[in-house]
Homo-oligomer: A and B are copies of this chain.
């Protein structure tokens, strides 16, 4: 922390600040500039407010320096975190570029299995689909709940894909832990700290989406909540932030990808479907995400988006999904990554993943 004094501050005022800092148990170091004094404060300041120093006479401004996160930080763990799944060779965070595909919502057994068949045929190894849906309107479809989870479990059994699905509260998370392989925490719950703590006690890896107006530091602190409870398998996801721009649903902030990778060892995915809200923007933003260095994609696919109960307008058709994978295959070598998909249609004979 740095206390910048007003140019009119007197030496007595500087001295009073230093005494206050020492009294609080920290160390003070005053520096005299050409125009004003500054006082550097050292000691373990994490979780500490300004303790009233900002109100003392002569103080101009308080500047915080030390980062509040610890476990998520690359300084605490220089090597990249690679998330692994039991009895599976799939990884997230390493050289593989993860593709997590599927419908926004599990709407019915038939719809889900149809889409699963298509994304599996395209080579996907991770399947997404919401059984619990956070919807802006109480009158909109809220998800199938446990019945939806059972359908997702059937997808895993039948196609050997790992299942990623969202928990909207502690109760949903407990149910999900019985059926899925990875739990998503959505953007609107990124600072639902009770849910984050619960996620920290989950045996499953957590996919944590960035909030609509979350700073990089808040995103990392949300991950810190999870890690501080013991769960080290956290994957971040950029999904667009809210800005004045009105040409897409949200503004995909791809520059957060290298920024996360500099500060943290955690993997970060991109969700071009929710970011753009429009099908014809999904592939350009998917390719851009890969080129920016993302560790993978969360992408919506629907065989019949006209009749989707949610977010149909942003879902790729299965053939667009296949085309996207092909284009990604061209981009990824440039950033030294490989698609974590099987070759299309060659997947049938692949060994089934058996759940531990």
A residues lining the B interface (CB < 8 Å)? 2, 4, 6-8, 27, 29, 31-36, 38, 40, 42-44, 46-47, 49-55, 61, 63, 65-66, 68-70, 75, 134-141, 168-172, 188-189, 191-195, 197, 212-213, 215-218, 221, 224-225, 228-229, 241-248, 251-259, 262, 275-276, 278-281, 284-285, 287-293, 305-313, 327, 330-331, 333-335
Contacts and interface: CB of A to CB of B under 8 A. Distances in A.
Given A51-B306, A244-B213, A254-B288, A228 B44 contact: no
A85 to B, nearest CB: 26
Contact of A257 (B136, B258, B284, B290): B284
Contact of A247 (B27, B246, B259, B330): B259
Give the one of A138, A241, A281, A307 with max B CB within 10 A.
A138
Report the 6 A-B pairs with minimum CB-CB distance, sorted nearest first. Answer: A52-B306, A213-B213, A33-B42, A287-B291, A330-B334, A188-B191
B259 A251 contact: no
Contacts of A197: 138
Contact of A255 (B47, B75, B252, B306): B252
Given A33-B43, A34-B42, A305-B55, A284 B276 contact: no
18 contacts: A36-B66, A46-B137, A47-B141, A54-B313, A134-B191, A135-B193, A136-B191, A138-B228, A241-B251, A243-B253, A247-B256, A248-B256, A254-B254, A254-B288, A287-B291, A287-B335, A290-B291, A330-B331
A255 B31 contact: no
B137 A68 contact: yes
A286 to B, nearest CB: 9
Contacts of A289: 288
Contacts of A7: 75
A99 to B, nearest CB: 16
A236 B182 CA distance: 36
A191 B252 CA distance: 21
A264 B169 CA distance: 29
A215 B287 contact: no
Contacts of A243: 241, 243-244, 251, 253
A259 B255 contact: no
A58 B50 CA distance: 27
A280 to B, nearest CB: 7
A127 B37 CA distance: 41
Contacts of A327: 334
Contacts of A138: 193, 197, 221, 224-225, 228-229
B254 A245 contact: no
A134 B193 contact: yes
Contacts of A245: 215-216, 241, 253, 256
Contacts of A334: 287, 327, 330-331
Contact of A281 (B43, B221, B258): B258
Nearest to A188: B191
Given A47-B137, A247-B256, A287-B334, 6 more contacts: A33-B43, A38-B65, A52-B312, A172-B194, A243-B244, A288-B292
